[in-house]
Structure 1
Amino acid sequence: MIQVPRDDRSVIGQWWWTVDRWALGAILAIMAFGVLLTLAASPPAAERIGADSFVFAKRQFIFLPIALALTLAISLASPRHVRRLALLVFCGSVVLLALTFVIGVEIKGARRWIAVPGLSSVQPSEFVKPSLAVISAWLLAQSRAERRAPGYILSTLLVGAVLALLLMQPDLGMSIVVAAVWAAQLFVVGLPMWVAGFGVVGGAASLVGAYFVFSHVRSRFDRFLDPSSGDNYQVNTALEAFMNGSLFGRGPGEGTVKAQLPDAHTDFVMAVCGEEFGLIVCLIILGLFAFVTMRALQRASKETSLFITLAATGLGVQFGLQAAINMASTIQLIPAKGMTLPFISYGGSSALAMAICVGMMLSLTREHAGLREAV
């Protein structure tokens, strides 16, 4: 077993003794469950399209090691380098996000992907989320430090522009995540109550507006409130999978419902987990996501640097909220929403974007991170 002395002043040595090793261990455990569930859920999906049974698994096993390496590499970075990386990722992903309207691939009525030869497709909005959280944090922190800095205005403009692009695709779920992360940062930085109230009213009005403007949103809400009003095949099938699995599951590879669930390897991967491994394992996975999120928020609250506090809060909220939306929609606690479960659902864009998210989160929540920052 390799041991790193506490007085080791190398980059790796300092990283090992300052990084949140508990959060890192939980993230590695989530990735391990991702490997297991990809093997369990992807073969039926591949067979339905006439492909090799393990084509999705093979692709995911390329992306997950890259995601792990990316997470570890970014976690070594200083806050200054995290900001620079976020700026580069944000600029590139916004350009690609705009290009989806020109060269994007339309799937189920939405243009969210750009086809890349050999890599299936890329979803730019996945990369916008973590980078925007860091940039917004920097702008808000600068605005608080320098009273005349237009940080609030610039942050609002950037978030507004991204939300406009997302809604044009349309992608309401991703828009909600971006808005919720920004709202969490505004709450932490401190705003007058009337501004917070205006934001709550504005958010509620936006949801009502989306209900009347987007037919797919209206359909999902109607089916959620009244299941008999439309097709709830995937959600009902997912619930059947959970019932079949009970507490301890039917066993690895013994699930039958996954063969009838079109999105079993992506949006409804937890249903496969519920059927084959049972409620206990599902709760363990839920606990891992909650643990990583709470560790990020706990460490962020102890920071003396406002930028690090805001950025770590935004990244932690994003990680936890995306997982919560995926799992809640699977068991019909909220209207169905196509959103991947970080590091577990199949998807290269999601795996790499989440690697950037947790890598930056681990970097910013390292002990004494504020002493490493050169603003």
Structure 2
Amino acid sequence: MSTEKTHKSKTQGLASAIKRAYRELNLSIFLPYMVLSIIGLIMVFSASAYRAISEGNDVTYYVIRQLIFMVLGLGVTLLIYRLRVTVFRSQAFKKLALVVISLALVFVLIWGEEINGAKGWIDLYVISIQPIEFAKPVLVLLLADYFSRYQEDFAKNTGWKGFFRVVGRHPIVPAAILLWLGIAVSLPDIGGFGLLLVIASLMVLGSGIPSKLVKALTGIAIGAYALLVLGVRLANHLGWTSSNYRIQRLLSFVNPFPEAQGIGHQLVNSYYALKGGGFFGRGLGNSVQKLGYLPEAHNDFIMAIVGEELGLLGLVFILGLYFYLTIYLYYRAQKARTVYIQMLLIGIASYFLIQAVINLGGVSGLLPITGITFPFISYGGSSVLTTAIMVGLALSASRADRFGHPKRRQSK
């Protein structure tokens, strides 16, 4: 009898836990994540089918791999959601994350697998992972903790001297981020460098550091990125970069048509895809440009295929849902009751915003082509898992902010 009662009690406890988890799940974050991921899976299948066949693989080769990473990503999202957000502020987690990412980036700089002119991957035989992708959520976590923990110090120590005084007292996180930025440039991964730099800059903007200093730091960050791009263009003019595919691809956005059969090939065909789609599109699966004309049709240029097959209407729907999620995260950050959760949500929202802007800018020719993927939609295991981590962190932060923790509420 007692055994039956114990079993019944455990069953009721499990059911209660599931109900509580569902009740605390922020559907304004979770539903866009699921809808966009499903749309992404459909578009990856459409955009990759021709390439898979031309490589001698089954037509489902890429979409099956994407589905596997999506399922893994969903598991990661739900696991992170159920963890207390305070776990990510522990000294043990911060040290482990910082060391692992730093060592992984140093490893790829020295021994990394080179793809398209950049040594950004670690080959694990079954899959290749891109450590710079996982540096993005770690950057957000570290800076959220850093600015919330030392907020009072920054407020008391105003001006440049005060800022560097505080950084000098607590140098590990800033030094690690500078190391990551330096490695990103050296790979070269200009897109990864720009994304990390802009996310950090936007988090500084929301950190409560005196506005004059924030403006100056943001100006320096923008100036650094502009100088990097100008430096690459100068090096190209002098003939120092002619053999580097990644850098040539970066520069092709200036005027791709003279090199339409060469380095400008991808961007020119992206234009054709977007123009060919019109308002309603050619129809799902009916893209012409994915038939060998647009090499990265399933990857960083997938939004061009979306525009061609689903038209402007499809693009507006996807971007509307995507930017709804981004704006909602900024809104939750504004309403957050603690500095840490506010900074965490600002960092996550900034990741989604900047990643989309850089990708769409490259596809449309408004920005250099950097290889940055479009979250939820583009093919890529590292990208899918990084996005899943970000969504999990957003759900965990939202849960902590709205409901507190089971035993104690977040204090700061």
TM-score, normalisation: structure 1: 0.90
Q: Compared with structure 1, are the counterparts of its residues 40 and 245 closer, same or farther at alpha carbon in structure 2 (3 Å cutoff)?
A: same
Counterpart CA distance in 2 for 1:235 and 1:86 is: 40
How much has 1:143 moved relative to structure 2?
0.5
Q: Secondary structure, in 3 states, of the residue corresponding to 1:114? A: strand
Instruction: For 2:122, give the aligned amino acid.
Output: I
User: Is residue 235–residue 332 contact of structure 1 (8 Å, CA) maintained in 2?
Assistant: yes
Q: Secondary structure, in 3 states, of the residue corresponding to 2:150? A: helix
Counterpart CA distance in 2 for 1:208 and 1:26 is: 34
How much has 1:83 moved relative to structure 2?
3.4
1:40 corresponds in structure 2 to: 46
Counterpart CA distance in 1 for 2:326 and 2:125 is: 35
How much has 1:22 moved relative to structure 2?
1.6
Instruction: For 1:253, give the aligned amino acid.
Output: G
How much has 1:368 moved relative to structure 2?
3.7
Q: Compared with structure 1, are the counterparts of its residues 209 and 328 closer, same or farther at alpha carbon in structure 2 (3 Å cutoff)?
A: closer
How much has 1:59 moved relative to structure 2?
0.9
Identity %: 28
1:190 corresponds in structure 2 to: 208
How much has 1:356 moved relative to structure 2?
0.7
Q: Secondary structure, in 3 states, of the residue corresponding to 1:257? A: coil
Instruction: For 2:141, give the aligned amino acid.
Output: V
How much has 1:228 moved relative to structure 2?
4.4
How much has 1:60 moved relative to structure 2?
0.9
Post-superposition CA distance 1:210-244 (Å, at most 9, x none)? 12146468755653333445432111111211222
Instruction: Answer yes or no: is 1:310 the counterpart of 2:343.
Output: yes
User: Is residue 94–residue 124 contact of structure 1 (8 Å, CA) maintained in 2?
Assistant: no
Instruction: Answer yes or no: is 1:98 the counterpart of 2:116.
Output: no
Counterpart CA distance in 2 for 1:364 and 1:331 is: 34
Of 167, 191, 194, the residue aligned with 1:176 is: 194
Counterpart CA distance in 1 for 2:125 and 2:251 is: 38
How much has 1:71 moved relative to structure 2?
1.0
Instruction: Answer yes or no: is 1:69 the counterpart of 2:75.
Output: yes
Instruction: Answer yes or no: is 1:364 the counterpart of 2:372.
Output: no
Counterpart CA distance in 2 for 1:200 and 1:220 is: 27
Q: Compared with structure 1, are the counterparts of its residues 239 and 226 closer, same or farther at alpha carbon in structure 2 (3 Å cutoff)?
A: closer
2:231 corresponds in structure 1 to: 212
2:316 corresponds in structure 1 to: 283
User: Is residue 323–residue 353 contact of structure 2 (8 Å, CA) maintained in 1?
Assistant: yes
Counterpart CA distance in 1 for 2:35 and 2:150 is: 38
Q: Compared with structure 1, are the counterparts of its residues 35 and 208 closer, same or farther at alpha carbon in structure 2 (3 Å cutoff)?
A: closer
Number of residue equivalences? 368
User: Is residue 283–residue 309 contact of structure 2 (8 Å, CA) maintained in 1?
Assistant: yes
Instruction: For 1:201, give the aligned amino acid.
Output: G
Q: Compared with structure 1, are the counterparts of its residues 140 and 155 closer, same or farther at alpha carbon in structure 2 (3 Å cutoff)?
A: farther
2:145 corresponds in structure 1 to: 138
Structure 2: state its 5+ residue gaps: 1-13, 158-165, 236-240
Of 122, 136, 146, the residue aligned with 2:129 is: 122
2:253 corresponds in structure 1 to: 224
Q: Secondary structure, in 3 states, of the residue corresponding to 1:336? A: coil
Greater radius of gyration (CA): 2
User: Is residue 86–residue 130 contact of structure 1 (8 Å, CA) maintained in 2?
Assistant: no
TM-score, normalisation: structure 2: 0.82
How much has 1:133 moved relative to structure 2?
0.6
1:373 corresponds in structure 2 to: 410
User: Is residue 47–residue 298 contact of structure 2 (8 Å, CA) maintained in 1?
Assistant: yes
Counterpart CA distance in 2 for 1:220 and 1:207 is: 17
How much has 1:53 moved relative to structure 2?
2.4
Q: Compared with structure 1, are the counterparts of its residues 23 and 202 closer, same or farther at alpha carbon in structure 2 (3 Å cutoff)?
A: same
Aligned-residue Cα RMSD (Å) equals 2.6
